[in-house]
Amino acid sequence: MSDKGFLHSLRTSQRRQRQIRLVLIYLVAIIAIAFALFPIIWIISASLNPANSLSSQKLIPDNASFVNYAKLLTDSEFSRIFPFKKWLFNSVKLAGITTLFSISITTMAAYSFSRFRFRGRENMLRGILLVQMFPNLLLMVAVFLLIQQIGGVIPVLSLNTHSALILVYLGGAMGINIWLMKGYFDSIPKDIDESAMVDGATHWQIFTRLLLPLMRPIIVVVAVLSFIFVYSDFIIARILLKTTEQYPLTVGLYIFTSGQFQQEWGVFAAGALMGALPIVIIYLVLQDQIAGGLTQGAVKG
């Protein structure tokens, strides 16, 4: 075999190898995508299938319609047992209020940690991080007993109230948010404060007028994180809340799955998709801001 012929055959075999490899890769891609998307496609199909029951499922439903969505949102008979709109409202309310308080409280704390030097400051910062190491979930027994005891004296903070739940959420995520915010404050030069101080501004004025606007990116991040944290909590709400009317969406949907799941599969599918929607929207709309804020904040720890 001549040199030329050898090179030629080597090249064709290389090309063939490469083609085989690409085909294999596309095959893997198709399988992986099918694995990743099939539950989602299936649930979308189920939500549009008026047949509703789990056994009468088809990938492309006959007479696709929004009847399952309508049942959740408008059927008053149905909503007496499964008050879906109330659950959705409760979830957004709990997440919204917690986020609002969390932001106000943690920005102030982070400002103080970043700008002032006081005795015990470093140990406090380390301690906050250490407390945060213990997953919230592990405290469920103690938190339940705590709220039970508090509620014995103060009815508005008793079991089955949203206010008690919000307090627990606030206490639980405080530490990590303070750290995120403090890191971002540290990245803002102190010269800004000092020149304002020379002009006679008080700390409060510096904080609210000068620094808060600059903190926007990290505030968005912390807001999104704490909104998602509360919105997708299951266990604390499950333990502290007792009546269907008070449930957030996650606990409500769970009641659904342990109840007449099989007969109401289509309605559950519609509810699950609508419940996921707020979070998916938040991710899609704010993804650049989230990524940006996180990396900027993370640079300084």
Partner 1 sequence: MTEPIDSTGRRKTTFTETMSTGSLLIRLILLAVVDALVVWFILGLVPRGSFILAVAVAIIAVIVNIVVLRANAGPLRWMIIGLVLMAMFAIYPILYTVYVSTTNYGFGHLLTKEQVTQQFESTKYLPEGKGAYTWTAYVSNDGDFALWLQDTQGQSYLAFPDQPISSVEPGQQGVGELDAEGIPSMIDGYQRLNRLAVVRYINDLGKLSFGSGDWIVQISSLDTASELEPQFSYDAARDVLTNQETGVEYKPSKGFFVSQSGERLTPGFQISVGFDNFIQFVKSPALQGPLVSITLWNFAFAFLSVAMTFSLGLFLAIIFSDTAIRGRKLIRTLLLIPYTIPSLITIMIWRGLLNPELGIVNQTLMSIFGWAPPWFTDPWWAKGAILLINLWLGFPYFMLICSGALTAISPELYDAAEVDGASIWQRFRHITLPMLLVAVGPLLVASFVFNFNNFNIIFLFIEGGPPIVGASTEAGYTDILISYVYNLAFAGGRGAQYGMAAAITIVVFIIVAALAMFQFRFTKMWEEVSENV
Which positions from 154 through 183 interact with partner 1, judged by CB under 8 A? 154, 167-168, 170-172, 174-175, 178, 183
- # residues contacting partner 1 (CB under 8 A): 98
Cβ at position 102, least distance to partner 1 in Å: 9
84-89 long-range contacts (CB < 8 A, ≥24 apart) are: 84/252, 84/271, 84/274, 86/245, 87/247, 87/248, 87/249, 87/251, 87/252, 87/253, 88/249, 88/274, 88/275
Binding status of residue 121 toward partner 1 by CB under 8 A: yes
Q: Give the position of tokens 């006679």.
A: 200
Cβ at position 6, least distance to partner 1 in Å: 20
Binding status of residue 128 toward partner 1 by CB under 8 A: yes
Give the residue among 222, 202, 223 at the shortest CA–CA distance from 211: 202
- Binding partner 1 (rule: CB under 8 A), the pick from 95, 143, 218, 270 is 143
Binding status of residue 135 toward partner 1 by CB under 8 A: yes
Classify the C-alpha dihedral 14-18-23-24 as positive or negative.
positive
- Contact set for partner 1, span 13-32 (CB under 8 A): 22, 25-26, 28-29, 32
Dihedral, CA of residue 158, residue 161, residue 165 and residue 170, to nearest 10 = -90
Cβ at position 111, least distance to partner 1 in Å: 6
- Contact set for partner 1, span 264-283 (CB under 8 A): 265, 268-269, 272, 275-276, 279-280, 283
Binding status of residue 216 toward partner 1 by CB under 8 A: no
Q: Give the position of tokens 């906050």.
A: 128
